[in-house]
Structure 1
Amino acid sequence: MKKHSARVAPLSACNSPVLTLTKVEGQLRPPPAPSCAAPAPSGLEEGGRTARPSWSCSGPRLRKLSWGLAVALCVCASWAGATQLARLTFRTFDAPFTLTWFATSWNCVFFPLYYAGHVCKAAERQSLKQRYRECCRFFGDKGLTLKVFCTRAAPFGVLWTLTNYLYLHAVKKINTTDASALFCCNKAFVFLLSWIVLRDRFMGVRIVAAILAIAGIVMMTYADGFHSHAVIGIALVVGSASMSALYKVLFKLVLGSAKFGEAALFLSVLGVFNVLFVTCVPVVLYFTRVEYWSPFDAVPWGNLCGFSVLLLTFNIVLNFGIAVTYPTLMSLGVVLSVPVNAVVDHYTSTIVFNGVRVIAIIIIGLGFLLLLLPEEWDVWLIKLLTRLKARKKEEPAESAGDAGSGPQKSRRARPPLAR
C-alpha cells in the first residue's frame, strides 16, 4: 500500500546502533546531510553585480533537525540508562542470560504498539487480522509459516540473544564506559562485512575508520594492563559487536528491507521465538546453579523491568525514529552515551581515566563518526571548497570595482573650470 511505502531494515540489530542498512523505498541515495544549504543566486543586483546567496533554513528542515535532537537525546538516555541499570542489577542478581531472556521477551509488544499507532493515525484503519496478514507478506507469498519461522526468524533470534548476552556478560567484567565505547566498533564490522559479502562500494575513509576501531580495541586492552579479567570483558564486547554486525548483514542479504509494520512484526516474532525456544536455557542454568538466585522474592523485579523498558525504548526509537529525522542524528545519540557513562562511572566506580584509555575512547568515537559520512561526502566537500574559492575571488573584484568607480564619479560631477 502507498501509505506504508517507507522500507527500513530493523535498525537495532540486537541493540546495534548501526544505521548503514537503512533503506527507503524509491530512494537510491542516502538522505541529504542535515545542514542549511545556500540557494543558488537568483539574479543580478542593480549595477550588474551578482546577488550573494542568503543562508536560510526551511521550516521542514528545521523541524526535522529538532526531531533529530530529541531522538538523539532519547537514544543516548535509553542506551546509557540500560547499560548502567544492568550493571546495578548484577550486584544482587548475577544472571546475565536470564536478564537477556527477560528483556528479549518484551519484544513481543512491538507489533501491538505499532498497530495501536496505526489505529490512532491511519486515515483508513484496518483490522488487526488484516494488518497482520499484510505484514506477513514480508516473509513470502505463503506468509509466516512454520518452515519460514524456523529457517528465517530462528537464526536471527539466536544472533539477537548472543549479542545481548555477550554484551551484558561483559558489563559484569569491565566498566560501562569501556563497554559502550567498544560496542561502537560494530559499525566498522558492518562495513567490512558489507564490503565483502554485499559488495558495497569501497570507501577509503571507512577503511581508515575500521583501522581506528581496531586500534582503539588494542589500546583499550593495553590501558587495563592486559589482565585476564579485562581481556575477557573486552573480548566479550567485541564478540557482541561482531554478532550484531553479522545480524545486520545477514538481514540485508536474506530479507532485504521491511516496511515499518513488517519490521515491528519481525521484532515481535523474535520475541515469540525467545519465549518458545530460549526459555529452557535459563531454566537449565538455574537448576545447574550456573545462574542461581535464591530466594525468589529477592529478585530485583524493579531493576529487571526498568532495564527491559529502557531497552525496549531504545529499540523503538532506533527502529522508527527514521520516520521523523535523519539516521545520522540518531547514530549520534549512541556516541553521546559514551561520555554519559564516563561521568556516571567517575562518580560511582573506581575507574581510572588514564591517557591511554581516553585516547582509545576518542579514537573509537572518531572512527564511528567517520563511518557516518555519506557516500558522496567527497563530492560535497569539493563543491563546498569550490564555492568558497569563488566567493573569495568575487570579493576582491567587487572591492576593486567600488574603489575604481568612486574617483570616476567625482571627476564627472566636477564642473568645468572657467577660463
Structure 2
Amino acid sequence: MSGSELSAQSVKPASDSVSPLLTLCSRAQLKKIFWGVAVVLCVCSSWAGSTQLAKLTFRKFDAPFTLTWFATNWNFLFFPLYYVGHVCKSAEKQSVKQRYRECCRFFGDNGLTLKVFFTKAAPFGVLWTLTNYLYLHAIKKINTTDVSVLFCCNKAFVFLLSWIVLRDRFMGVRIVAAILAIAGIVMMTYADGFHSHSVIGIALVVGSASMSALYKVLFKLLLGSAKFGEAALFLSILGVFNILFITCIPVILYFTKVEYWSSFDDIPWGNLCGFSVLLLTFNIVLNFGIAVTYPTLMSVGIVLSVPVNAVVDHYTSKIVFNGVRVIAIIIIGLGFLLLLLPEEWDVWLIKLLTRLKVRKKEETAEGAADPGSGPQSKNRRARPSFAR
C-alpha cells in the first residue's frame, strides 16, 4: 500500500476571522485522522485477536485446514454487508441486481462469466486458502509473536515480486528493507537454536507471507485496482469458490483421520465462529479503511499487533524474549516501516531540508536587520552615560 500525499499551504489571513475553506479543510483532515486512529485500532485488535484465538482453538481442535475452510466460507458475507452499507449511506440507492452488475464491470465488459470465474477468481481462491492454512499451521508450531512478526515480511516479498514482475521503480531503501527482513528471519531461526519444530514453523509462516505477496502482485497484474464494492464482490466470490471446490478437502482429511474429531459436540464452535468473525472484521476494515483514511495506516495496524501478541504470549506461554529474538523483531519491524515510505520520499526529504535551510537564512537575516543589534545601538551601549 502506498501512502497518501498531503499538501499543506500556508495562508496569511487578511483579518482575524478564519477562512471558511481553511476551517473546512481542517475539519476534513481531523475527520480523516479520527477515522485513521479508529481503523488502526480495529486492524490491530482484530488481527491480534484472530491469531490468539486460533492458538487457543488448536488446544481442543487440531484441524488447521478445516478452520481455514470454515473461516473462508464467511467471505460470502462481504457483498451482502457492503450492499447494506450502500443502502444506508448512498443517496442514489440501487437494487441488488443493479449494484451487482455495476461491480461486475471490474472483471471486464462481459462481467463475471464462467471463464472469468475459473481464470481470474479460482487462482486467487487457491492462494487465499494456502496463505491462511500455512499461517494457521505455523501457529501450531511456534508462538504467535514470531508468527505475526515473520508474516510482516510479506511486504518485502511484495516489493521484490513487483520489481521483478510488474517492473516497479527500483528503490534502494526497499532493497535494504528486504535484506533486513531476510536477516530477521535467519535471526529468528537462530533464536530457537535451529530446532526442527521451530524451523518448520518459521518455514510455514514464510511460505504464508510468500503466498500473500504472490496474491497481491497477481491481483495487480491481472485485475488492477478495485473499489470497495468491487473488492467486496470479489471476496464474496472467493467464498463461493471455497464452498464449491474446497469443501471436499476437509472431508477427505476427516475420513483419512489427518484432521479428525470424535464428535461434533467436541468442536469448540464458539472459538471457530469467533475466529471467523475477527478475520472477517479484519478484512472488512482493511478494505473499508482505504476509502476513509490513509492506506499506510492499515500496515501500521498490522505492525502494532506484534507487541500486542508479545504481551499476551508473555503472560500465557513460555516464550523467552532473549536478545537475539528481540533484535530480530526490531530488524523485521524496521524493514517493514522502511517499506511504507512512499516512492517520492527522497524528493520530499530534499524539499523539507531546503525549506528548513531557507527558513534558517530568513531568521538569520531578520536577526541581522534588528535595530537593537545594529552598529548604532552598539555605539550607544559603548558610550558611557554621565547623566545623574
TM-score normalised to structure 1 length = 0.85
Counterpart position of 1:414: none
Structural mapping, 1:30-49, within 5 Å: 31-32=4-5, 39-40=9-10, 42=12
Structure 1 residues 224 and 253: CA distance shift in structure 2, 3 A: same
Tell me the CA shift for residue 322 of structure 1: 1.0
Counterpart position of 1:8: none
Quote the Cα distance in structure 2 between the aligned partners of 1:337 and 1:104: 21
Alignment counterpart, residue 82 of structure 1, candidates 28, 47, 50: 50
Counterpart position of 2:386: none
Quote the Cα distance in structure 2 between the aligned partners of 1:39 and 1:299: 59
SS in 2 for 1:258: coil
SS in 2 for 1:257: coil
Structure 1 residues 63 and 406: CA distance shift in structure 2, 3 A: farther
Amino acid at match of 1:113: L
Counterpart position of 1:335: 303
Counterpart position of 1:6: none
Quote the Cα distance in structure 1 between the aligned partners of 2:164 and 2:8: 38
User: Bigger shift: 230-239 or 289-298?
Assistant: 289-298
Amino acid at match of 1:39: Q
1:308 equivalenced with 2:285 (yes/no):
no
How many residues matched? 370
Structural mapping, 1:211-290, within 5 Å: 211-290=179-258
Tell me the CA shift for residue 408 of structure 1: 5.5
Counterpart position of 1:71: 39
CA deviation map 1:272-311 (0-9, x unaligned): 0000000000000001000001121010000000000000
User: Bigger shift: 326-335 or 339-348?
Assistant: 326-335
Alignment counterpart, residue 357 of structure 1, candidates 325, 349, 352: 325
Tell me the CA shift for residue 386 of structure 1: 1.2
CA deviation map 1:56-79 (0-9, x unaligned): x82211221111111001100000
Tell me the CA shift for residue 258 of structure 1: 1.7
Structure 1 residues 174 and 406: CA distance shift in structure 2, 3 A: same
1:366 equivalenced with 2:349 (yes/no):
no
TM-score normalised to structure 2 length = 0.92
Higher helix share: 2
Tell me the CA shift for residue 144 of structure 1: 1.3
Amino acid at match of 2:327: I
Structure 1 residues 89 and 43: CA distance shift in structure 2, 3 A: closer
Matched-pair identity in %: 83
Note if contact 2:228-2:291 (Cα within 8 Å) is conserved in structure 1.
Answer: no
Unpaired runs of at least 5, structure 2: 15-24, 381-388
Name the Cα RMSD after superposition. Answer: 1.9
Counterpart position of 1:9: none
Structural mapping, 1:1-400, within 5 Å: 19-20=1-2, 31-32=4-5, 39-40=9-10, 42=12, 58-400=26-368
SS in 1 for 2:369: helix
Q: Could you list the runs of 4 or more consecutive aligned residues of structure 1 that deviate by over 3 angstroms after TM superposition?
A: 37-44, 404-411
Alignment counterpart, residue 404 of structure 1, candidates 373, 376, 385: 373
Tell me the CA shift for residue 41 of structure 1: 6.9
Tell me the CA shift for residue 239 of structure 1: 0.2
